[in-house]
Amino acid sequence: MKSQRSFATVPVMATLCVLSVLALTGCGKNDPGVAKTVKPTKIQLAAIEDRIKPYSMVNIEGATQVAQASAMPGEAKYASCGACHGAQGGGGVGPALAGQSAEYIANRLNQYKNGEKVGSQSNMMWAQAGMLSEADITDLADYIQTM
Ligand code: HEC
């Protein structure tokens, strides 16, 4: 008896299932959360453009600057330098690097790499620069110049 009853419920359940799916999909059409494609008129488009212009200028400028900076291989290489020279090159344990030319930075790094004494704390830079390849020095100098 028990098994017969449960067999009988199968078509009922199936019908309910289909009905609820239909009901749900039907509701979706009027759901305000579903984006509708609208075609604004030229005048409306111009008005929208006017409104967002000030913001889009800021965003576009910022975005291209960020993209340019992160496209430089020296940025990633600078990560370890930032601990002493500041994330923006403003200085800290080591002197400020921001504002120096790429040539100046590269010259200094080569001096340190060769174990030369520049200031009283050059020993702190000898180990740092000793690990740098020529390409590293060029990349770092190019990046630091932009800070
Ligand atoms: C442990 C701290 C420390 C780290 C890390 C460090 N530096 Fe330095 N840096 C110094 C100190 C201190 C000086 C000053 C050395 C001197 O007296 O000659 C210096 C000097 C320099 C100078 C010369 C600045 C000038 O005004 O002439 C450059 C260029 C430089 N560092 C680049 C780097 C780069 C690039 C990195 C990362 C690869 C780096 N430093 C990592 C501490 C550090």
- Report how far residue 113's alpha carbon sits from residue 11's, in angstroms, rounded to the nearest whole number: 82
Take atom 41 of ligand 1 and give the residue whose Cα is closest: 81
Separation CA 93–CA 88 (nearest Å) = 14
* Average pLDDT over the chain, rounded to an integer: 81
Find, among 121, 125, 123, 141, the residue nearest to 77 by Cα.
141
- Domain segments of the chain as ranges: 9-57, 73-145
Of 69, 141, 66, whose CA–CA distance to 101 is shortest?
Answer: 141
Q: Is 98 in the pocket of ligand 1 (CB under 6 A)?
A: no
Query: How would residue 116 be classed by pLDDT, with cut points 50, 70 and 90?
Result: very high
Task: Tell me how far the alpha carbon of residue 37 lies from the centroid of ligand 1, in angstroms.
Answer: 57
Look at residues 97, 74, 94, 75 and name the one whose alpha carbon lies nearest to residue 83: 94
Among 86, 63, 143, residue whose Cα is nearest residue 109: 143
List strand residue ranges (DSSP E) for the chain, in order. Answer: none
CATH superfamily of 73-145: Cytochrome c-like domain (1.10.760.10)
**pLDDT, tens digit, 9 for 90 and up, residues 7-65:** 667 777 777 767 766 666 655 556 666 666 777 788 887 787 777 766 655 555 555 55
Q: What is the pTM of this model?
A: 0.64
